[in-house]
Amino acid sequence: QVQLVQSGAEVKKPGASVKVSCKASGYTFTGTYIHWMRQAPGQGLEWMGWINPNGGGTKYAQKFQDRVTMTTDTSIATAYMELSRLRSDDTAIYYCAKYSGFDYFFDRWGQGTLVTVPS
Amino acid sequence: QSALTQPASVSGSPGQSITISCTGTSSDVGNYNLVSWYQQHPGKAPQLIIYEVTKRPSGVSNRFSGSKSGNTAALTISGLQAEDEADYYCCSYVGSEAFDYVFGAGTKVTVL
Protein backbone atom coordinates (compact mmCIF):
# COMPACT_ATOMS: atom_id res chain seq x y z
CA GLN A 1 0.00 0.00 0.00
CA VAL A 2 1.00 3.62 -0.47
CA GLN A 3 3.10 4.91 2.42
CA LEU A 4 5.07 8.03 3.20
CA VAL A 5 7.43 7.63 6.16
CA GLN A 6 9.10 10.74 7.52
CA SER A 7 12.24 11.22 9.58
CA GLY A 8 12.18 11.74 13.34
CA ALA A 9 11.74 14.79 15.52
CA GLU A 10 14.39 17.50 15.52
CA VAL A 11 15.42 20.25 17.93
CA LYS A 12 17.37 23.08 16.31
CA LYS A 13 18.86 26.35 17.49
CA PRO A 14 17.68 29.64 15.99
CA GLY A 15 19.57 30.39 12.80
CA ALA A 16 20.28 26.73 12.06
CA SER A 17 18.84 24.60 9.24
CA VAL A 18 16.77 21.44 9.34
CA LYS A 19 16.32 18.77 6.67
CA VAL A 20 13.27 16.50 6.87
CA SER A 21 13.01 13.34 4.76
CA CYS A 22 9.97 11.57 3.36
CA LYS A 23 10.40 8.03 2.03
CA ALA A 24 7.73 6.86 -0.39
CA SER A 25 6.63 3.32 -1.17
CA GLY A 26 3.76 1.51 -2.84
CA TYR A 27 3.55 3.69 -5.95
CA THR A 28 5.74 5.10 -8.75
CA PHE A 29 7.66 7.85 -6.96
CA THR A 30 8.38 9.80 -10.14
CA GLY A 31 4.74 9.62 -11.23
CA THR A 32 3.40 12.49 -9.16
CA TYR A 33 4.44 15.48 -7.08
CA ILE A 34 5.28 15.63 -3.38
CA HIS A 35 3.93 18.60 -1.43
CA TRP A 36 5.05 19.88 1.95
CA MET A 37 2.82 21.46 4.59
CA ARG A 38 3.34 22.51 8.18
CA GLN A 39 1.17 22.88 11.27
CA ALA A 40 2.30 25.15 14.09
CA PRO A 41 1.10 24.31 17.63
CA GLY A 42 -2.64 24.93 17.87
CA GLN A 43 -2.75 26.30 14.33
CA GLY A 44 -4.08 25.16 10.98
CA LEU A 45 -2.21 23.70 8.05
CA GLU A 46 0.00 25.85 5.84
CA TRP A 47 1.12 24.93 2.33
CA MET A 48 4.87 25.32 1.74
CA GLY A 49 5.47 24.09 -1.78
CA TRP A 50 5.88 21.13 -4.10
CA ILE A 51 8.54 19.20 -5.95
CA ASN A 52 8.21 17.08 -9.05
CA PRO A 53 10.44 14.02 -8.55
CA ASN A 54 10.50 13.61 -12.32
CA GLY A 55 12.97 16.32 -13.18
CA GLY A 56 13.16 18.18 -9.87
CA GLY A 57 10.96 21.15 -10.73
CA THR A 58 9.72 23.05 -7.69
CA LYS A 59 7.32 25.76 -6.61
CA TYR A 60 7.60 27.35 -3.19
CA ALA A 61 5.11 29.51 -1.33
CA GLN A 62 6.30 33.10 -1.50
CA LYS A 63 6.51 33.19 2.29
CA PHE A 64 9.26 30.53 2.29
CA GLN A 65 10.88 31.33 -1.05
CA ASP A 66 14.22 32.46 0.33
CA ARG A 67 14.56 29.83 3.07
CA VAL A 68 13.22 26.51 1.74
CA THR A 69 14.79 23.96 -0.58
CA MET A 70 12.98 20.81 -1.72
CA THR A 71 14.88 17.97 -3.34
CA THR A 72 14.47 14.30 -4.12
CA ASP A 73 16.64 11.21 -4.47
CA THR A 74 14.77 9.03 -6.94
CA SER A 75 17.16 6.11 -6.38
CA ILE A 76 15.69 5.66 -2.90
CA ALA A 77 12.25 7.22 -3.54
CA THR A 78 12.82 9.90 -0.93
CA ALA A 79 11.91 13.57 -0.85
CA TYR A 80 13.59 16.17 1.34
CA MET A 81 12.57 19.57 2.67
CA GLU A 82 15.29 21.81 4.06
CA LEU A 83 14.39 25.00 5.92
CA SER A 84 17.19 27.42 6.79
CA ARG A 85 17.63 30.37 9.15
CA LEU A 86 15.21 28.82 11.60
CA ARG A 87 13.23 31.00 14.01
CA SER A 88 11.12 30.10 17.00
CA ASP A 89 7.96 30.54 14.95
CA ASP A 90 9.12 27.73 12.65
CA THR A 91 8.31 25.32 15.46
CA ALA A 92 5.74 23.05 13.85
CA ILE A 93 4.91 19.59 12.59
CA TYR A 94 6.04 19.28 8.99
CA TYR A 95 4.14 16.93 6.68
CA CYS A 96 4.88 15.58 3.23
CA ALA A 97 1.91 14.58 1.12
CA LYS A 98 1.44 12.79 -2.17
CA TYR A 99 -0.40 14.71 -4.86
CA SER A 100 -3.26 12.70 -6.30
CA GLY A 101 -2.14 13.37 -9.83
CA PHE A 102 -5.31 15.19 -10.79
CA ASP A 103 -7.75 17.72 -9.43
CA TYR A 104 -5.59 19.24 -6.78
CA PHE A 105 -5.83 17.19 -3.62
CA PHE A 106 -3.51 15.10 -1.48
CA ASP A 107 -4.37 11.43 -1.21
CA ARG A 108 -1.73 10.27 1.28
CA TRP A 109 0.22 12.07 3.99
CA GLY A 110 3.31 11.23 5.96
CA GLN A 111 3.07 10.86 9.72
CA GLY A 112 4.63 14.27 10.33
CA THR A 113 7.95 15.46 11.76
CA LEU A 114 8.05 17.77 14.76
CA VAL A 115 10.68 20.47 14.43
CA THR A 116 11.26 22.51 17.59
CA VAL A 117 13.19 25.77 17.60
CA PRO A 118 13.46 27.01 21.18
CA SER A 119 13.30 30.78 21.59
CA GLN B 1 -1.66 33.62 2.83
CA SER B 2 -5.08 34.20 4.43
CA ALA B 3 -6.56 31.02 5.80
CA LEU B 4 -10.06 29.90 4.91
CA THR B 5 -12.54 30.60 7.72
CA GLN B 6 -13.90 27.64 9.66
CA PRO B 7 -15.73 27.54 13.00
CA ALA B 8 -13.35 26.59 15.79
CA SER B 9 -15.63 23.88 17.11
CA VAL B 10 -18.85 22.03 16.32
CA SER B 11 -20.52 19.43 18.48
CA GLY B 12 -23.38 16.99 18.19
CA SER B 13 -24.89 13.91 19.77
CA PRO B 14 -24.49 10.44 18.29
CA GLY B 15 -26.83 9.96 15.35
CA GLN B 16 -27.22 13.67 14.67
CA SER B 17 -26.00 15.57 11.63
CA ILE B 18 -23.54 18.44 11.79
CA THR B 19 -22.23 20.84 9.16
CA ILE B 20 -18.86 22.57 9.07
CA SER B 21 -18.57 25.69 6.95
CA CYS B 22 -15.46 26.86 5.11
CA THR B 23 -15.52 30.42 3.80
CA GLY B 24 -13.02 31.78 1.35
CA THR B 25 -13.05 34.33 -1.43
CA SER B 26 -13.74 34.60 -5.14
CA SER B 27 -10.04 33.84 -5.68
CA ASP B 28 -10.09 30.43 -4.05
CA VAL B 29 -13.27 28.59 -2.97
CA GLY B 30 -15.47 30.66 -5.24
CA ASN B 31 -13.21 30.32 -8.26
CA TYR B 32 -12.61 26.58 -8.37
CA ASN B 33 -14.53 23.39 -7.63
CA LEU B 34 -11.32 22.14 -6.06
CA VAL B 35 -12.15 22.07 -2.36
CA SER B 36 -10.97 19.08 -0.37
CA TRP B 37 -11.54 18.08 3.24
CA TYR B 38 -9.21 16.25 5.60
CA GLN B 39 -9.89 14.49 8.90
CA GLN B 40 -7.17 14.47 11.54
CA HIS B 41 -7.31 12.45 14.73
CA PRO B 42 -4.99 13.53 17.57
CA GLY B 43 -1.38 12.70 16.85
CA LYS B 44 -2.19 11.33 13.40
CA ALA B 45 -1.65 12.54 9.85
CA PRO B 46 -4.53 14.17 7.99
CA GLN B 47 -6.66 11.84 5.86
CA LEU B 48 -8.60 12.81 2.75
CA ILE B 49 -12.37 12.46 3.11
CA ILE B 50 -13.75 14.72 0.33
CA TYR B 51 -12.25 16.05 -2.90
CA GLU B 52 -13.56 18.21 -5.76
CA VAL B 53 -16.18 19.63 -3.35
CA THR B 54 -18.46 16.58 -3.30
CA LYS B 55 -16.52 13.42 -4.15
CA ARG B 56 -15.61 10.70 -1.64
CA PRO B 57 -12.54 8.50 -2.01
CA SER B 58 -13.17 4.79 -1.90
CA GLY B 59 -13.33 3.56 1.66
CA VAL B 60 -14.71 6.79 3.12
CA SER B 61 -18.12 6.47 4.74
CA ASN B 62 -21.09 7.89 2.83
CA ARG B 63 -22.01 9.69 6.05
CA PHE B 64 -19.55 12.36 4.88
CA SER B 65 -20.77 14.71 2.17
CA GLY B 66 -19.58 18.00 0.73
CA SER B 67 -21.19 20.98 -0.94
CA LYS B 68 -20.43 24.52 -2.06
CA SER B 69 -22.31 27.74 -2.63
CA GLY B 70 -20.47 30.81 -3.80
CA ASN B 71 -17.40 31.38 -1.66
CA THR B 72 -18.45 28.92 1.06
CA ALA B 73 -17.94 25.18 1.08
CA ALA B 74 -19.40 22.84 3.66
CA LEU B 75 -18.82 19.38 5.07
CA THR B 76 -21.78 17.50 6.51
CA ILE B 77 -21.41 14.49 8.75
CA SER B 78 -24.64 12.56 9.13
CA GLY B 79 -25.35 9.85 11.69
CA LEU B 80 -22.57 11.19 13.91
CA GLN B 81 -20.44 8.48 15.54
CA ALA B 82 -17.88 8.57 18.32
CA GLU B 83 -15.10 7.82 15.82
CA ASP B 84 -15.92 11.07 13.98
CA GLU B 85 -14.49 13.09 16.85
CA ALA B 86 -11.46 14.74 15.23
CA ASP B 87 -10.22 17.93 13.64
CA TYR B 88 -11.42 18.73 10.13
CA TYR B 89 -9.62 20.98 7.63
CA CYS B 90 -10.84 22.37 4.35
CA CYS B 91 -8.44 23.19 1.55
CA SER B 92 -8.84 25.06 -1.72
CA TYR B 93 -6.64 25.27 -4.74
CA VAL B 94 -5.63 28.89 -5.43
CA GLY B 95 -2.97 28.72 -8.07
CA SER B 96 -1.57 32.19 -7.50
CA GLU B 97 2.04 33.22 -7.90
CA ALA B 98 2.36 33.46 -4.11
CA PHE B 99 0.94 30.05 -3.20
CA ASP B 100 -1.00 27.16 -4.72
CA TYR B 101 -3.21 26.06 -1.82
CA VAL B 102 -4.88 27.58 1.21
CA PHE B 103 -6.22 25.67 4.20
CA GLY B 104 -8.76 26.48 6.86
CA ALA B 105 -7.68 26.83 10.48
CA GLY B 106 -9.54 23.65 11.36
CA THR B 107 -12.73 22.67 13.19
CA LYS B 108 -12.76 20.47 16.26
CA VAL B 109 -15.74 18.11 16.14
CA THR B 110 -16.91 16.82 19.50
CA VAL B 111 -19.36 13.97 19.85
CA LEU B 112 -21.33 14.59 23.02
Q: Which of B39, B71, B33, B24 is nearest to B51 (CA)?
A: B33
Q: Is the pLDDT confidence value at B2 over 80?
A: no
* Residues A108/B44, Cβ–Cβ less than 8 Å: no
Mean pLDDT, each 10-residue run in order, chain A (119 residues)? 97 98 97 96 92 95 95 98 97 96 90 96
| Cβ contact, residue pair A63, B100, below 8 Å | no
What is the band of B1 on the pLDDT scale with cuts at 50, 70, 90?
A: low
Strands B72-77 and A92-99: unpaired
Query: Min CA distance, A15 vs chain B (Å)?
Result: 24
- Note the maximum CA span of chain B: 44
Mutate to test the interface with A, among B101, B102, B107 (most CBs of A within 10 A): B101
Residues B63-82 have pLDDT tens digits of 999 999 999 999 999 999 99
Distance CA B96, CA B105 (A): 20
Q: In Å, how far is A50's CA from the nearest CA of chain B? A: 9
CA A77, CA B56: separation in Å to the nearest integer?
A: 28
Q: How far apart (Å, rounded) are the C-alpha atoms in residues A47 and A68?
A: 12
Residues of chain B neighbouring A35 (CB-CB closer than 8 A): 101
Average per-residue pLDDT for chain B? 94
Distance from CA of B14 to the nearest CA of A (A): 26
